[in-house]
Amino acid sequence: MFVDFFYILRDSGIPVSPTSFLRLHKALAEGLVSNLDDFYIAARTLLVKSERFFDLYDRVFAHYFRGAELPDFKGMELEAAARELLNEWLQNPEALANALGMSKKELQSLSPEELLKYFMDRLKEQTEAHHGGSKWIGTGGFSPVGHSGYHPGGMRVGGISRNKSAVKVAMDRRYKDYSVEAPLTQAQMGEALKRLRRMVPEGPRDNVNVDETIRATTRNAGEIEIVFDRSLRDRLKIILMVDNGGWSMDPYIQLVQTLFNYARAQFKDIKFFYFHNTIYDYVWEDPPRRFKPQRVEEFSTWDKDTRLIIVGDASMAPYELMATDGSIHIEERSGLPSIDRLHMLADIFSHSAWLNPTPRRIWPMTRTIGVIASIFPMFELTLDGLEQAVTSLMSKN
C-alpha cells in the first residue's frame, strides 16, 4: 500500500527510509489512521525527519492524493533550470567559435539586471544546444552571456575567471568535498592551529586525584583527605567559513585543504561553512553550497565565545561588497549589502580572524581587501600569519 507514494517521496529528495515506511504500515495496521488527515500527519511524523522537507512533503502529498501538479523535484526556479540547461551546453568547451552579438561598448552599458534579462530571453528563444553564433548562448564569443567570453562587465557562466571579477555567475562549478583526505604537505600548519586548543583547566574541581588523595591520606595517618583537581576541558568552539566558490580562490584550494585536514582532528566542536567571495544571507554547510543553507542571522543565537575564522581572498568587485543587491548569485537578494552582514558577524563573535591566502604585499592593490580588513583582523594564510591570528583569537578581549 502506498508504495508508489513512498517512491515519489524518495525521488523528490526527501530521505525516507524503508524502516520508517514499515512503521507507517504498522500504524495503519493498528488502526491509528482512520482518515486522510490522519494519514497526512502520521506519514509526515514517521517519514519526514526535518522541517526543511515539510514543504516538499506537502507538495508530493497534494500531488498523490489530490492530483495536484507534481512539484519540480529539484526545487528549481527558472533561473536554476537555466543553469542546468547551460551546464549541458557548455560541456564542450572545444567548440569555441567566434560569436558576434552587440558591440563591446553596448555590452558594457548593460546593468546586471538587463544582462540577466537578456540571458533569460535568449534562453527562451533558444531551443537547441549551440556553440558560436551571433546571439545565442554557447561557448566563447562576445555575447554577454556565455562561457569564456570576453566582456568586462559580463556574466560568467563557467570557465576561468580572467579578471577575478564577474558580474553574475549563472553556473557554478561545484567543488568536490574538501573534507576528503589529501596528502598533507604543510605539517606546521597543524602545529600552529594546535595553539587554538586552549587546554587550560577551566572546569569545576570535581576530578578526584587518586594519587594525591592516597598521599594526603597517608600523611594524615589514615584520616581520609580527598584531593580534587579541576577537570580539563577544551572549551573552544570554532566556526570556519571558507570561500570555495570563485575561481580566484582556485590556486589556494590545496592550501586550505591542508588546513581542513588538520582542523578536523584538532577540535571537537568545529563547524564548517562555505561561501562564495563574500557573505550575504546564507552560508552553506556543504561545499557545493546547495543543500544545507544556514541563515547568517541565526548565528546571533550561537555561543559568543566561538572563534570565527574566515578563509578567503577578499577579492571581488567593490559593488559585490557594498551594493544592496551585490550577490553574484541571482537567487540570493535580501536587500542588505554584504558589508552589513560582515559587520554583523564581527559584532556577534568578538573573536574573529580573516585568513587571506594572497600575500600581504599585494593587498593594497585590491580595494575590497582593505575594506574587509577594517572589519575583521586580517592575516596571511602562512605560518607567520596563522601564528598572529592565533594570538589575536586568544587575546582576552
Partner 1 sequence: MSGENATFFSGASKYVLDEELAKIVNISMALEMPLLLKGEPGTGKTMLAHAIAESLSMPLLVLNVKSSLKLVEALYQYDTLTRLNDSRFGDSTRDVSNIEEYIRMGKIGQAFVSEIKTVLLIDEIDKADTDFQDDMLDVLDQMEFDIIEIDKTMKARTRPVIIITSNAKKDLSDPFLGRCNFHHIAFPDQDMMRRILNVHFPSVDQELLEICVRTFYKIREFQGIEKRPATRELINWVRALRADPDFRPKDLIQGKIPFLGILFKKSTDYHQATLQSKRLRI
Q: Which residues bind partner 1 (CB under 8 A)?
A: 15, 17, 19-20, 23, 26-27, 30, 32, 38, 41-42, 45-46, 48-51, 54, 203, 224, 226, 233, 268, 300-302
Q: Give the Å distances, CA to CA, from 194 to 133, 191, 262, 264, 303.
A: 56, 5, 9, 11, 21
Q: Which of 324, 322, 329, 335 shows the shortest CA–CA distance to 368?
A: 322
CB of 41 to partner 1, least distance (A): 5
Closest to partner 1 by CB, 32 or 81? 32
CB of 177 to partner 1, least distance (A): 16
Closest to partner 1 by CB, 162 or 205? 205
Maximum CA extent, the chain: 99
Closest to partner 1 by CB, 17 or 391? 17
CB of 45 to partner 1, least distance (A): 5
Residue 15, phi then psi, degrees to nearest 5: -75, 85
On whether the CB atoms of residues 243 and 311 are closer than 8 A, the answer is yes
Closest to partner 1 by CB, 12 or 257? 12
CB of 323 to partner 1, least distance (A): 20
Residue 276, phi then psi, degrees to nearest 5: -120, 115
Number of Cβ atoms within 10 Å of the Cβ of 7:
12
CB of 17 to partner 1, least distance (A): 6
On whether the CB atoms of residues 118 and 145 are closer than 8 A, the answer is yes
Closest to partner 1 by CB, 7 or 291? 291
CB of 239 to partner 1, least distance (A): 12
- Concatenating the DSSP letter of every residue in 328-391 gives SSTT---SS-HHHHHHHHHHH-SSEEEEE-S-GGGGGG-HHHHHHHTTS-EEESSHHHHHHHHH
Closest to partner 1 by CB, 301 or 397? 301
